[in-house]
Amino acid sequence: MCGIIGYTGVLPAKDILIDGLERLEYRGYDSAGIALLEDNNIILKKKTGKVAGLREAAGDIKSDSACGIGHTRWATHGGVTDINAHPHKCGQVALIHNGIIENYRELIVEYGLNEKLVSETDTEVVAALLDKLYEGDPVCAIRKAVKRLAGSFALCIMFADKPGKIYAVRNVSPMIAASCDEGSIIASDLTAVIAFSKKYFVVPEYHILTLDKNGIKVEDLKGNVVTPEILEVNWDITSAQKGGYPHYMLKEIYDQPEALRNTVTPRVKDGLPYLLDDGIPDDIFKEFQNIMVVACGTAMHAGMVGKALIEKKLRIPVTVEIASEFRYKDPIIDEKTLTIVLSQSGETIDTLEALKLAQKKGSKVLSIVNVKGSTIARESDYVLYTHAGPEIAVASTKAYTVQVAAMYILACKTGLERGIMDEASARDFMAKLMNAGEIIEETLKNANNIKLIAEEIKMAPDVFYIGRGLDYTMSLEASLKLKEISYIHAEAYAAGELKHGTIALITENVPVIAIATQEDVYSKVISNIREVKSRGAYVVLVSEDDEINDSNICDRQIKIPHLEGEFTAFATAAVLQLIAYYTSASKGLDVDKPRNLAKSVTVE
């Protein structure tokens, strides 16, 4: 949460910073600001609202300074105001921050900072503290300050009397850096850096960086110089652009076939699941007795799809926990449990802390992560990277389907290693999984029909999703997607559970989106649909059925391709994503940046 960027080099910094903030905007979009360092002077511009507003407001800055920092905010401490926006300037110091300083109140009292403060933020306290500790040596001041900070932080700092220099330090909150011919750049994530360099490094925690136009010095808190490991990204700037689509979300829905192929194909050898190139040994699949899946939001829903498959096919118990609950419930796991952690960003703080707790309890952690080199990836015992490319829309789509595919690979590998699946059935399963991209391509041909249905439900105050088994897990994700981008209250219900209370809410024309793709429970779901239909619901049926001309069952139909059991998940996901997308788009909402949200949730 919050996007930060710093650039120092040979080019004018203003536009580089604002362009970078636009790319980072998905991390927070309450307000934005930049600071430029010029002639021992710090020029500041900050503005509530989106980065486009800042760009306009910054039009009057004539400086061609080649050194500056920029921030796009997701508010935690203090309301959304110009004053609370970053950068914060105090005396000689200007800084930007992503994270939360937990002991900011104590610091105010201890260092008598009160009269230096004008905002309500925890961040400004760090600026004031640094200004107080600064005696001409920035690294020394930062070292002293960092030792006193409790909480998570990624900080980029400029000192008015140190032209051309940016200093940075972090704990937990993500930050990467790169140097190239045009200078040095530092940012919350790659989307802001990729235009300059495909090579980068993850800023090590509690190390102080000094950036200038010639490169980046990294030193630990004792002053020892460190050489960080250089990573290389396997996508380019075009992957982080809209590519002609009106919104990132739609582009990312259409990216799914390729994302699935990129994720699955490298994990198939001689038709069988193969994970040795990922550094995941075959033996681990034989050793555990049960699986604990831990994640948040959409990633957790992908874990639930995995659970439905693993329990059904392999008869191995799987528990799925919301990371923020797992952390505080003294979970029942030990060395016989394999913990699977799912995270697109690899930075979600609750998921990260849950991972650490699982390891502390003796469990090995295998994570399914999209962002290379992210904290969760680095902390895990094993990592299975999904190759979705950058996901910019706040609402996750392609990251979800590749997470489901990754769970399917793990399920098949476990089945094979344990002799629960023979080679022939594992080959058959992997062949079907390799076809998941085509399943989505085929399903997306329904887009126009789905668009019309979205028009019909867009003014409804409530929408219900129902399904059984796998389709119930799909409903959970569908309702989250609709809620977050269309602001319609949506609920997912196990179809058989409706009549135990919720059916009281079904009245004339209430939309119920019923998913009936699983053969073993198909007739049961149809009975549940009849129950809501007879109470006046407007029913949209998602199934493999050819046209059903029975107004006692449904008002609209969305047909998915004919698929075996668990593989319907890919088709259903695409349908449900499109329903949410078109509902939001037809309401004229900001699909990619829904209110109150941000990508990459790095606060608890």
Smallest gap, in angstroms, from Cβ of residue 461 to ligand F6R?
Answer: 21
Rounded to 10 degrees, the C-alpha dihedral 527/531/534/539 comes to -80
Burial label, 474 (beta-carbon count in 10 A; 0-12, 13-18, 19+): buried
Enumerate the β-bridge partners of residue 557: 541
| Nearest-10 crossing angle of helices 423-434, 398-417 | 170
Shortest gap between Cβ of 342 and ligand F6R (angstroms)? 6
Specify the stretch interacting with ligand F6R by CB under 6 A; choose among 68-76, 273-281, 338-346, 428-436.
338-346
The reply on whether position 395 binds ligand F6R by CB under 6 A is yes
Least distance to ligand F6R, CB of residue 298, Å:
3
Q: Which residue is nearest to ligand F6R (CB)?
A: 297
Q: Is residue 353 within the footprint of ligand F6R (CB under 6 A)? A: no
Q: Within a 13 Å sphere around the CA of 69, how many CA atoms are in the beta-carbon half?
A: 32
Minimum separation from the CB atom of position 132 to ligand F6R (A): 36
435 binds ligand F6R (CB under 6 A): no
Residues whose CB falls within 8 Å of the CB of residue 122, separated by 6 or more in sequence, listed in order = 76, 77, 97, 100, 101, 104, 151
* DSSP strand pairing (199-202 vs 382-385): unpaired
Shortest gap between Cβ of 422 and ligand F6R (angstroms)? 34
Strand blocks (E) in 381-522: 382-385, 462-467, 489-494, 511-516
Closer residue to ligand F6R, CB minimum distance, 128 or 296 = 296
Please, which residue, 26 or 104, has the CB nearer to ligand F6R?
A: 26
**Three-class SS of residue 360?**
helix
* Of 54-62, 246-254, 339-347, 447-455: span binding ligand F6R (CB under 6 A): 339-347
Give the nearer residue to ligand F6R in terms of CB position, either 186 or 591. Answer: 591
x/- track of binding to ligand F6R for residues 176-215 (CB under 6 A): ----------------------------------------
Residues 292-331 that bind ligand F6R (CB under 6 A): 296-299
> In the window 104-143, what residues touch ligand F6R (CB under 6 A)?
none
Q: Which of 504, 252, 498 is nearest to 391 (CA)?
A: 252
Token look-up 């040795």 returns: 276
SS3 state at 127: helix
For ligand F6R, the closer of residues 344 and 517 by Cβ is 344
Active site residue 599: yes
Q: Among residues 42, 596, 122, 26, which one has the least CA distance to residue 34?
A: 42
Interatomic CA distance for residues 47 and 37, integer angstroms:
18
Instruction: Please identify which residue in 344, 443, 479, 517 interacts with ligand F6R, judged by CB under 6 A.
Output: 344
Identify any residues that bridge with 559 across adjacent strands, giving them in sequence order: 543
| Shortest CB 403 distance to ligand F6R, Å | 8
Q: Which of 46, 307, 372, 599 is catalytic?
A: 599
Determine if 263 is a binding residue for ligand F6R (CB under 6 A).
Answer: no
Q: How far is the CB of 563 from ligand F6R (least distance, A)?
A: 24
Q: What are the structure tokens assigned to 448, written together?
A: 């126009």
CB atoms within 10 A of CB 381: 17
DSSP string, 173-225: S--EEEEETTEEEEESSGGGTTTT-SEEEEPPTTEEEEEETTEEEEEETTS-B
Near ligand F6R by CB under 6 A, which window of 115-123, 278-286, 340-348, 491-499?
Answer: 340-348
Site for ligand F6R, residues 537 to 556, rule: CB under 6 A = none
Q: By CB under 6 A, how many residues form the interface with ligand F6R?
A: 14
Catalytic choice (2, 67, 296, 412)? 2
Q: Among 256, 251, 246, 252, which Cα is nearest to 585's?
A: 246
Taking the C-alpha atoms of residue 98 and residue 470, their distance in angstroms, rounded to an integer, is 38
CB of 477 to ligand F6R, least distance (A): 8
Can 412 be counted among the known catalytic residues? no
Instruction: Point out which span in 304-312, 337-345, 420-428, 567-575 binds ligand F6R (CB under 6 A).
Output: 337-345
Query: Which of 345, 380, 443, 486 lies at the binding interface for ligand F6R (CB under 6 A)?
Result: 345
Phi and psi dihedrals of 410, rounded to 5? -65, -40
484 binds ligand F6R (CB under 6 A): yes
Phi, psi of 34 (to 5 degrees): -135, 155
**184-216 core/surface letters (b: 16 or more CB in 10 A; e: else):** bbbbbbbbbbbbbbbebbbbbeebbbbbbbeeb
Q: Which two tokens stand for residue 286?
A: 């034989």
Q: Which stretch binds ligand F6R (CB under 6 A): 168-176, 198-206, 259-267, 344-352?
A: 344-352
Strand partners for 122: none
In the complex, least distance from residue 343 CB atom to ligand F6R, rounded to whole angstroms = 3
Contact between 396 and ligand F6R per CB under 6 A: yes
Rule CB under 6 A: choose which of 343, 479, 518, 602 binds ligand F6R.
343
Nearer to ligand F6R, 13 or 601 (CB): 601
11: CB partners within 8 A, 6+ apart: 66, 182, 183
CB of 74 to ligand F6R, least distance (A): 12
Decide whether 162 or 599 has the Cβ nearer to ligand F6R.
Answer: 599
Q: Is 348 in the site for ligand F6R (CB under 6 A)?
A: yes
Contact footprint for ligand F6R (CB under 6 A): 296-299, 343-345, 348, 351, 395-396, 484, 600-601
Hey, which residues are catalytic here? 2, 599
